[in-house]
A and B are shown apart, each in its own frame.
Chain A
């Protein structure tokens, strides 16, 4: 068994994560062209001058979900203060297109980050409106397919929590990794005839085939080959 190429205990090393990430991103690019590609965000390790291996995370950002419903956010009345003056002062300009009401776009960012304590990948995500306001979890749940919501309710492995993003130091949502090792083991047992080994290059693909469903990102079957 070559530990650099295969995973037998459901867990990844940092180096394995880096290898698996690139393999995943490459496959995604080929088979999932309706989505933008995942990009590898390298990290600068300022404490250790010698960068041992390339550390970083995978990022897929600004995935747009359109909702036809214009959600009414309660207006902040205090915002109307002292605005009349502007009306009079600003030049009336007929070359400004008056925008028509459009679909409200929700944006989603996804990061796949390596968890050193669980030794598995973790999916971090967030949603926000076009102006940048973060979306609450209950709004996000309306955006993801209903099967995802039921998956969240039923599955012991996939629950969403809000925690600080390890590199951005701001709260993001994440799928908690505490069951990952176990179901990865199950996956590798069922998919492999030769024991419970899984090639590292397929690790992230298999992993994402499960967690992606929770957030409504399905991957084509060809990616698993």
Chain B
């Protein structure tokens, strides 16, 4: 052949690179979890590659979901056979169960074992029947399925020929072939690539006859090509894009050629494409000289190399797929999406950040507490703290939607504990905690021994209210709402109150505290007479509602209620809070009345009107909104009471608890006394009450 004087240049091959589709790791994780368990025997897998189709980017050997043994669940028809860009290559996966065993794997032996298989296939002739075995590969991996991270390392075993193959010449195929030949070669290649039978056969023979007609044949048909053909080339799908180097598959191809046919010089054809057609400008043709060193016999297995480099270093690769595999993260993004959709579609001005950052304190984890918590989660609220003293009783789970039968077993789980567990099960991203604690109540005298613990509870409750943004009063007694109402008014926190009768309910929001209002008045310089703060639960017993409700003391019957009430009232309570949070004036928002305002969205609040109180009855299937201003002689939120609390602290609370007439004396009211007198008649005994034992003392 020509150019014998040219000094020998060592032929250098561009390494093959791996690419592992996310789907492979997903499928592998399922396989590992569902089927393999701790079995770490090697798994036969299939890699895929195709000829390079981009002038600047090489192709990779790719692992896909279908690289693993067949999964019957797959909806998508197997497209691996006869797909032009997915020529199957056999491989083996060694997955270890620990990172230590991954690091300890004897990589040289593993590589050698795979290289030996290739060598055997060359010797036995199997490589001629199925040349894809020449590109056999192996992968070692460690799958940390708890963290959804994968460490892996590919090897593409290649024989090191001694002496190395020297390159005689290498040029673009378009320069090597005459234009008639090029046309015919392109056409023949396109036919080969278009046929389902041959498109995924990556090694082939190209013969060009003296009349410039090209034909492509299988490797095993070499003898048929050795006739009057002018040119015979060993073609292969080259994954490499480089203009002056062939890709990795050529290495073992040349080893095969040397061993099977004992040829000294060969022409090779690096087949590359653009836009799915043969591109002879990108494709290369080269002539190489392969000689056996004197002492070597064909039977000796040559040394092999092939561990893939990671950015030029001999280290494994790693990938983390927590974002697409961690079910908690997926749940979070799905929940966020749902709320975003609501904003996009219906409420463009909805502020979701306010909702996700608000901290809610739920006093009482009974029927109302459970419903409120569920509806809060629906609105994307993430931070919920429960305060409850009771345990889950056998009758509870059917009405209290966070509990199950299991929670009642033994002596019953504390509701504050069971509710937290339940929220986490519903949505793992919840930040939630439970406090098992009774709420101190006026009119329930305590002994001097109990004083410390009651005052401790008061302090704890006060701290809890300080550290939250909104407080729900959902206990089952009237008097247990007094101290939280006072503390909310003192700290100027949003308080939402819900109470149930047998077939009627009341849901309201408390107004701002008295001191904060006077601060705001100074700051905002608003005319005092125009803005009155809204009343609290206790104001309304004094100030007659604008529309008189007959059932004024409906909350006093709440242990027996129609089961539909708690979901209705709980849901309204949350909607009321969301209204306050979305309102520009927040806690200071005035009370709207449904009959006075438009029902549609208004500019102030995208959610519609923001009432002060909602009262409803399921016996009449009716619901009305009410407005009541704060009372100056309220036992919970009036300036008199708040300043007394600020001045006297614990002694004020003790006095209120131990002397029912004290608050009355302080504010000049008899209301609380009347109500306190009726407690024993209307409330079931604490010990036998199994329904809403939210708070007792």
Q: Which residues of A contact B (CB under 8 A)?
A: 33-34, 36-37, 41-46, 62, 64, 66, 76, 78-83, 86-87, 89-91, 93-99, 102-103, 105, 126, 128, 130-134, 136, 156, 159, 161-164, 167-171, 176, 178
Among residues of B, the one whose C-beta sits closest to the C-beta of A76 is B318
Q: A95-B10, A96-B12, A159-B344 are in contact. Are A66 and B315 (CB under 8 A)?
A: no
| C-alpha gap A6/B428 in the complex (Å) | 47
Query: CB distance B15 to A96 under 8 Å?
Result: yes
Q: Is there an interface contact between B103 and A64, defined as CB atoms closer than 8 Å?
A: no
- Check if A41 sits within 8 Å of B79, measured CB to CB: yes
Given A89-B108, A97-B245, A178-B344, A43 contacting B275 (CB threshold 8 A): no
Q: Which residues of A contact B583 (CB under 8 A)?
A: none
7 contacts between A and B (CB under 8 A): A79-B316, A95-B164, A130-B17, A132-B319, A134-B22, A168-B65, A176-B344
Counting CB contacts under 8 A, is B165 at the interface? Answer: yes
> B19: which of A45, A87, A126, A131 is its contact (CB, 8 Å)?
A131
- The chain B residue with its CB closest to the CB of A45 is B75
The CA-CA distance from A81 to B54 in the complex, in Å, is 36
Stretch of B330-338, B449-457, B466-474 that contacts chain A: B330-338
* B15 and chain A: residue at smallest CB distance: A96
- The answer to whether A162 touches B333, judged by C-beta atoms less than 8 angstroms apart, is yes
A43 touches B75 (CB 8 A): yes
Per the 8 Å Cβ criterion, residues 119-156 of B in contact with A are: 151
Verify B22–A128 contact, CB threshold 8 A. Answer: yes
Identify the closest chain A residue to B12 (Cβ): A97
Which one of B99, B108, B245, B345 contacts A86 once the chains associate, using CB atoms below 8 Å?
B108
Q: Is the CB of A95 within 8 A of B165?
A: yes
Verify B79–A161 contact, CB threshold 8 A.
no
| Given the contacts A95-B165, A96-B13, A132 and B19 also touching, CB distance less than 8 Å | yes
Please report the C-alpha to C-alpha distance between residue A90 and residue B482 in the assembled complex, in whole angstroms.
Answer: 79
Would you call B552 an interface residue if the criterion is a C-beta within 8 Å of the partner chain's C-beta atoms?
no
* B254 CB, nearest partner CB in chain A, Å: 10
Is the pair A91, B75 in contact by a Cβ cutoff of 8 Å?
Answer: no
The closest CB in chain A to the CB of B302 belongs to A91
Asked if A36 and B56 make an inter-chain contact with CB atoms under 8 angstroms apart, the answer reads: no
7 cross-chain pairs, A with B, having the tightest CB-CB distances, nearest first: A82-B103, A132-B20, A97-B12, A79-B315, A89-B108, A171-B324, A93-B305
With CB as the reference atom, state the residue of chain B lying closest to A96: B15
B323 contacts across to A, CB distance below 8 A: 134, 136, 171
Extra A-B contacts (6), CB below 8 Å, given A134-B321, A171-B333 = A43-B75, A82-B104, A89-B107, A131-B317, A168-B76, A176-B341
Residues of A within 8 A of B316 (CB): 79, 83
Report Cα–Cα, A133/B317, bound state, in Å.
11
Contact partners of B242 in chain A: CB under 8 A: 97
| Consensus secondary structure, chain A interface | loop
Question: Which residue on A lies nearest to B65, using beta carbons?
Answer: A168
* CB-defined contacts of B76 to chain A, threshold 8 Å: 41, 43-44, 167-168
Asked if A97 and B337 make an inter-chain contact with CB atoms under 8 angstroms apart, the answer reads no
Query: Which residues of A have CB within 8 Å of B317?
Result: 79, 131
- A103 to B62 Cα, complex, angstroms: 19
Nearest residue (CB) in B for A80 is B315
> In the complex, A167→B305 CA distance in Å?
40
Chain A residues with CB below 8 A from B85, complex form: 62
Residues of chain A lying within 8 A (CB to CB) of residue B17? 130-131
Considering the chains assembled together, what is the distance between the CA atoms of A44 and B314 in angstroms?
43
**Neighbouring B residues of A128 by C-beta, 8 Å:** 21-22
Residues of B within 8 A of A82 (CB): 103-104
Task: Report chain B residues within 8 Å CB of A95.
Answer: 10-13, 160-161, 164-165, 251
- In the bound complex, how far is the Cα of B321 from the Cα of A136, in angstroms? 11
Q: Which positions 297-356 of chain B face chain A at CB distance < 8 Å?
A: 303-305, 307, 309-310, 312-319, 321, 323-324, 330, 333-334, 337, 340-341, 344-345
Interface size on B, residues (CB 8 A): 67
With an 8 A cutoff between CB atoms, is B224 at the interface?
no
**Closest Cβ–Cβ distance, residue A157 to chain B (whole Å):** 10
**Assembly CA distance A98 to B15 (angstroms):** 8
Known: A36-B276, A91-B160, A131-B18. A103 touches B56 (CB 8 A): yes
Q: Does B23 contact A (CB under 8 A)?
A: yes
CB–CB A97/B19 < 8 A: no
- B305 touches which of A91, A130, A178 (Cβ 8 Å): A91
B interface vs A, CB < 8 Å? 10-15, 17-24, 26, 54, 56-57, 60, 62-63, 65, 75-77, 79, 85, 99, 103-104, 107-108, 151, 160-161, 164-165, 242, 245, 251, 275-276, 303-305, 307, 309-310, 312-319, 321, 323-324, 330, 333-334, 337, 340-341, 344-345
Chain B residues with CB under 8 A of A163: 334, 337
Nearest chain A CB to B340 CB, angstrom units: 7
Q: In whole angstroms, what is the CA distance A78 to B100 when docked? A: 11
Instruction: Tell me if B164 and A94 are in contact (CB < 8 A).
Output: yes
Bound-state Cα–Cα, A82 to B312, Å: 17
Most buried by B among A33, A95, A167: A95
8 Å CB contact of A66 from B23, B57, B99, B341:
B57
Taking the closest CB of chain B, its distance from the CB of A107, in whole angstroms, is 8
Known A-B contacts A99-B15, A134-B22; the reply to A171 vs B318 at CB < 8 A is no
Given contacts A76-B318, A82-B104, A105-B57, is CB(A94)–CB(B10) below 8 Å?
Answer: yes
Question: What residues of chain A lie closer than 8 Å to B315, measured between beta carbons?
Answer: 79-80, 83
Docked CA distance A76–B320 (Å): 11
Residues of B within 8 A of A162 (CB): 333, 337
Which A-chain residue is minimally distant from B324 (CB atoms)? A171
Cα A5 to Cα B304 with chains together (Å): 62
| Chain B proximity of A173: nearest CB distance (Å) | 11
Contact between chains at B275 and A90 (CB < 8 Å): no
Which among B65, B245, B315 has the highest number of chain A CB atoms within 10 Å?
Answer: B315
Residues of A within 8 A of B79 (CB): 41
B75 contacts A134, C-beta separation under 8 Å: no
Please name all residues of chain A whose beta carbon is closer than 8 Å to the beta carbon of B251 when the two chains form the complex. 95
Measured CB to CB, the nearest residue on chain B to A46 is B75
Given contacts A41-B79, A132-B319, contact A97 B108 (CB under 8 A): no
Given contacts A41-B76, A96-B13, contact A168 B23 (CB under 8 A): yes
Which chain B residue lies CB-closest to A41? B76
A44 to B71, CA, bound (A): 13
Given contacts A97-B13, A132-B20, contact A66 B345 (CB under 8 A): no
Q: A86-B107, A95-B13 are in contact. Are A171 and B330 (CB under 8 A)?
A: yes
- Bound-state Cα–Cα, A87 to B305, Å: 11
Nearest-CB distance from A5 to chain B (Å)? 29
**Which chain A residue has the least Cβ–Cβ distance from B310?**
A79
Residue ID in chain B nearest A161 by CB atoms: B337
Q: Which residue of B lies closest to A130 (CB)?
A: B19
B75, B76, B245 interface centre (most CB from chain A within 10 Å)? B75
In the complex, are the beta carbons of B12 and A34 less than 8 A apart?
no
Residues of B within 8 A of A168 (CB): 23, 65, 76
Asked if B275 and A33 sit within 8 Å, CB to CB, the answer is yes
Q: Which residue of A lies closest to B63 (CB)?
A: A132
Min distance, Cβ B665 to any Cβ of chain A, angstroms: 61
Chain A residue contacts of B23, Cβ below 8 A: 168, 170
How many Å lie between the Cα of A102 and that of B240 in the bound state? 13
Question: Which residues of chain B are within 8 angstroms of A131 by Cβ–Cβ distance?
Answer: 17-20, 317, 319
A156 touches B344 (CB 8 A): yes
Q: Please give the distance in Å from A90's CB to the nearest CB on chain B.
A: 6
Closest A residue to B105 using CB positions:
A82
